[in-house]
Amino acid sequence: MTRAEHIQALLEDYSRQRTEDEADQERRLAEACQRAPRIAELRQESASLALNAMRSILVEQSQEERKAIAQRMKARGQAINAEIRALLKAAGLGEDALDMRYRCPVCKDTGYVGEAPARFCDCFEARLRLRQHEDGSMAGLDEQNFDHFDLGRIPEADGQRVQMLGARKLCEGYANGFPNTESRNLLLCGEGGLGKTFLLNCIFERVTSRGQSAVRITAFRMFEAMRQQHTGNDEHFDGFSALIEVPLLLIDDLGTEPMMRNITVEYLFTLLNERNAAKRHTVVATNLTPAQLRERYGERVASRLLDKSSGRIVQLKGKDLRQR
């Protein structure tokens, strides 16, 4: 997809989000009015307050009386709001229960800020940068999630099923607790077909469904971001910076990307080192063993990937599940 196509698709996402915001507010309003019917009456009075005051001001000749009408309207409006807040509190709801709840209070889920000509909000720019890393080859999340964890596909022999259950419990706890996780980073290791990508996608689905910001990327697409950053052919490209800055980065199939001099190892070290320094969360899935990681990337990169003080290594072993 081109940048323009990504922008259009993202604007449609924002439009859907605003619709969800409004529906959520309507649900909360209906619940509040059910618990305290007086709220509906007060909201109706509030809605007509300004219109009635304006009509009175238009027919009033005295400037003094016009000001008095405006002041009475303001005072009544404040009294209505105070009574509604008291009713909400008495009904066991928060005083802000009827407020619109936006994902981004700055742009109010429009994607735009400022007067005409408006500009894209920072939240929109960040999501646009991350969106351009999504790869059509990555698995869909309708099946790659914890709810579709199929224990029956995992052999019981050699403790493979018990091992996978332990890995699932750890990964689900990580996803549910993010960003307050016991270990900041996860390294999923093991031969192909043992469920590493599935677990990585499950984490991504759970974290993003909770409204948290994350990006998953294949190692090849990560390399492309590194290469483009290195060559500097596009002065507007900031995709590598987005990988550094996203709160949760999930890298799949590390070790399958091309090894290019002055790019792969150097930029991977920068990525991991900057993320660790900023205490951002990173999940990596790889077919390589710790020894192979050291051989391929060197000690500096391997030490970031294998650092037990900030991360947890999940080693999977057993039979290829894709052949079952």
Domain boundaries, the chain: 3-103, 136-323
Tens digit of each residue's pLDDT (9 = 90 or more) over 4-51: 777 888 888 889 888 988 998 899 899 989 998 998 998 888 888 878
Tens digit of each residue's pLDDT (9 = 90 or more) over 220-258: 989 988 988 888 765 544 678 888 988 999 999 999 999
Q: Does residue 300 carry a pLDDT above 90?
A: yes
Please report which confidence band the pLDDT of residue 312 belongs to, taking 50, 70 and 90 as the band edges.
very high
Q: For the structural domain made of 136-323, what CATH number should be given?
A: 3.40.50.300
**CA 265, CA 269: separation in Å to the nearest integer?**
6
Quote the tokens at residue 281: 């969360």
**CA 305, CA 282: separation in Å to the nearest integer?**
9
Q: How far apart are the first and last CA of the chain?
A: 36
Contact 295, 198 (CB under 8 A): no
The mean pLDDT value of the chain amounts to 86
pLDDT of residue 189: 95
**CA 35, CA 84: separation in Å to the nearest integer?**
12
**CA 31, CA 37: separation in Å to the nearest integer?**
10
Q: Does residue 129 carry a pLDDT above 70?
A: no
Tens digit of each residue's pLDDT (9 = 90 or more) over 260-291: 999 999 999 999 999 999 999 999 999 999 99
pLDDT of residue 119: 82
pLDDT of residue 236: 45
How many percent of the chain have pLDDT more than 90?
A: 35
DSSP H or E stretch at residue 113: strand 112-113
pLDDT of residue 53: 80
SS3 264: helix
Residue 188 bridge partners (DSSP): 285, 314
